[in-house]
Amino acid sequence: MNRSARLVLLSGIPALALLAGCAASSARLNRVSPGMTREEVVSALGRPHAVAAHGGVEYLTYNLLNKGVGDMKEYAVKVVAGRVEAFGEKADFGPQLLSTNAPGGR
């Protein structure tokens, strides 16, 4: 393989990795469904980036790549009594989540 062919091949690898990362990251939220346990969510999505609790409700926050765009978006999973009640973009959950920045985990 000549030098220019290797350069073209090598320059394409980071682009493919970025595309694969975007698809995997944005698709991760599709693994969540209402009724799942908190542990199932962590198994599917990994350790949350932040955790907030308000009146017996726990919010797990994840920073995921936005599919096809490459920018990060914040998503939240609302857990009530140990089970998923709702999930979606963090901003959709209202002001109680706008200032969470504590490290995730339990």
Whether the Cβ atoms of residue 68 and residue 22 lie closer than 8 Å to each other: yes
Residue 87 contacts residue 75 (beta carbons within 8 Å) = yes
| pTM of this structure | 0.65
Which pair of structure tokens corresponds to residue 92?
A: 């959709």
The string of pLDDT tens digits covering residues 30-46 is 899 999 999 999 999 99
Residue pair 59/100 in contact by the 8 Å Cβ criterion: yes
pLDDT in tens, 40-72: 999 999 999 999 998 889 999 998 877 666 788
Domain boundaries defined on the chain: 3-97
pLDDT band at residue 98 using 50, 70 and 90 as cut-offs = low
Residue 4 has pLDDT above 80, yes or no: no
Residue 22 φ/ψ region, left for φ over 0, alpha for ψ in the -120 to 50 degree band, beta for the rest: alpha
- The dotted CATH code for 3-97 is 3.30.1450.10
